[in-house]
């Protein structure tokens, strides 16, 4: 299992309200299936597969509105580095899903727990990752996770997550719909995620590093005898 630091106190410690414009966007989505993806725009996060899945998901859930909340904006100059979201923005327009995609913009880390608390399902279509902190944050917040089938995603979430082939919008939509339509599955995943998140702490992370260091030191000593 992947171990990494997660400061629960810092993450849940701030109860100051979200910005008024963000709060209004969230309120307008009440009653819809609220999907959340926490990321600035970049290529390997695979926004395009997620956007392509939206009309497919709406077809699978014809009696319920679907909203995707993004913590970025799909417009030039709104993202760090040289990432250009033009292709994603064009895809939103071409597929006619502009009313489904809610661009919140960046949300301060200390307030992210308030955003997770308003989501029904956390979704990530990333096609490569190192360590995906938002998965731990979502699980700690009791939000079911649907993630692309990366080894690191499966190591982090285990049985608390549901997975789909990373470049398949059809599988993404089908997996989300399957989870969303089963209250029992939602409860089970939320409960399993909260329990799973307990394994991620700075203490556990440091203990594992010290254990590894001691093993290397002992091995080196043994090689000299």
pLDDT of residue 76: 82
pLDDT in tens, 2-24: 556 677 777 888 889 999 999 99
The CA-atom distances, in angstroms, between 16 and each of 3, 25, 74, 136, 142 are: 30, 17, 27, 22, 20
Predicted local distance difference test score (pLDDT) of residue 221: 75
CA-to-CA distance for 35 and 37, rounded, in angstroms?
A: 7
In contact, 140 and 7? CB cutoff 8 Å: no
The closest of 101, 196, 199 to 143, measured between CA atoms, is: 196
Alpha helices in the chain (DSSP H): 8-12, 20-28, 47-60, 86-95, 112-116, 133-140, 151-157, 169-180, 183-197, 202-224
Domain boundaries, the chain: 8-200
Instruction: Give residue-wise pLDDT tens across range 178-215.
Output: 999 999 999 999 999 999 998 886 566 556 656 767 77
Q: Round to whole Å and give the CA distance between 135 and 69.
A: 15
The pLDDT, as a whole number, for residue 82 is 74
CATH class assigned to 8-200: alpha beta
pLDDT for the residue 201: 67
CA distance 7 to 133: 11
Query: Model-level pTM?
Result: 0.88
Rounded to whole angstroms, what are the CA distances from 20 to 23, 26, 27, 107, 196?
Answer: 5, 10, 10, 12, 33
Report percent pLDDT > 90 for the chain. Answer: 75
pLDDT digits (tens, 9 = 90+) for 142-170: 999 999 999 999 999 999 999 999 999 99
Angle at 77 between CA 87 and CA 49, to 5 degrees: 25
């Amino acid at each position: 299992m992947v171990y990494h630091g997660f400061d629960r106190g810092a993450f849940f410690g701030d109860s100051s309200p979200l910005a008024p414009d963000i709060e209004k966007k969230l309120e307008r989505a009440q009653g819809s299936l609220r999907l959340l993806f926490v990321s600035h725009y970049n290529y390997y996060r695979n926004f395009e597969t997620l956007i392509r899945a939206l009309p497919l998901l709406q077809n699978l859930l014809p009696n319920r509105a679907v909203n995707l909340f993004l913590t970025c904006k799909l417009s030039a100059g709104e993202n760090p580095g040289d990432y250009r979201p033009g292709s994603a923005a064009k895809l939103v327009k071409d597929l006619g899903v502009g009313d489904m995609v809610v661009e919140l913009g960046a949300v301060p880390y200390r307030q992210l727990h308030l955003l997770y608390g308003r989501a029904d399902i956390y979704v990530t279509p990333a096609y490569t990752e190192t360590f995906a902190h938002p998965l731990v944050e979502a699980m700690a917040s009791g939000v079911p996770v649907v993630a692309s089938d990366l080894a690191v995603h499966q190591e982090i979430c285990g049985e608390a997550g549901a997975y789909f082939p990373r470049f398949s919008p059809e599988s993404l939509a089908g997996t989300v719909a399957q989870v969303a339509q089963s209250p029992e599955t939602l409860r089970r995943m939320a409960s399993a995620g909260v329990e799973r998140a307990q394994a991620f702490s700075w203490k556990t992370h440091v203990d594992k590093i010290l254990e590894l260091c001691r093993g290397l030191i002992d091995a080196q000593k043994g090689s000299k005898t």
